[in-house]
Amino acid sequence: MANSAAETVIGAVVLAVAGGFLVYAAQTADINFRGSYELVAQFRKADGLSSGADVRVSGVKVGTVRSLSLDRDTFQARAVLAIEQTVRIPDDSAATIASEGLLGGAHIAIQPGGSDFMLEPGEEFAFTQGSVNIMDLIGRAISGGAE
C-alpha cells in the first residue's frame, strides 16, 4: 500500500511540473488571444526573416509574420503579417526588414504614415524596404564604396 501512495505522490508532482511548464511556455510565447487581421508586404530581399518574427511599430510588438513565401510572378518575398485587431495602420505606411543587431534575427518595422485612411485586412503595403546584407556593407566599407 505504501508503494501505491508513493507512486501517486510522484505522479502528482510530475503533473504539477508539466502544468508549470505549460504556463511558462504560454507566457513566453506571447500568444495573442485578442484576434488579428492580415496585411501583406512584398520585399526584394528578405534575408534573416522567418515565420513567427515580430512586427513592430515604434519598437513595440504589434504582430507576427504569419508566413513567408516566394511570389512566383514577381520573384519577391511575400510576407503575410498578422496584426493585432486593436492596431490600425495608415495606408501610406512603410514596412522595413530590420535587424536585431549584428548577429540577431530580423523583424519587420512599420513606419506609420500620416494618412487618414487605414489599411484594410488583406491589403498590401505600397512602400517596403528589404533586408540589408551586413557582409555587403562591410565589403563596400573596405573597398571604399567602389563596385
Residues 19, 81 within the same domain: no
> For the segment 65-120, what is each residue's pLDDT rounded down to a tens digit?
999 999 999 999 999 999 999 999 999 999 999 987 666 788 999 999 999 999 99
> For the segment 18-39, what is each residue's pLDDT rounded down to a tens digit?
888 887 776 666 555 568 999 9
Residues 92, 124 within the same domain: yes
**Contact by Cβ (8 Å): 82, 110:** no
Burial of 94 (0-12, 13-18, 19+ CB in 10 A): middle
Residues 49, 119 within the same domain: yes
Domain assignment of residue 88, yes or no? yes
State the pTM of this model.
Answer: 0.70
Residues 81, 131 within the same domain: yes
Q: In the prediction, which pLDDT does 47 show?
A: 84
| CA separation for the pair 34, 133 (Å, rounded) | 35
Residues 7, 59 within the same domain: no
Residues 46, 25 within the same domain: no
Our count of domains for the chain comes to 2
Tell me which residue range forms the domain holding 10.
1-31
What is the average pLDDT across 54-69?
94
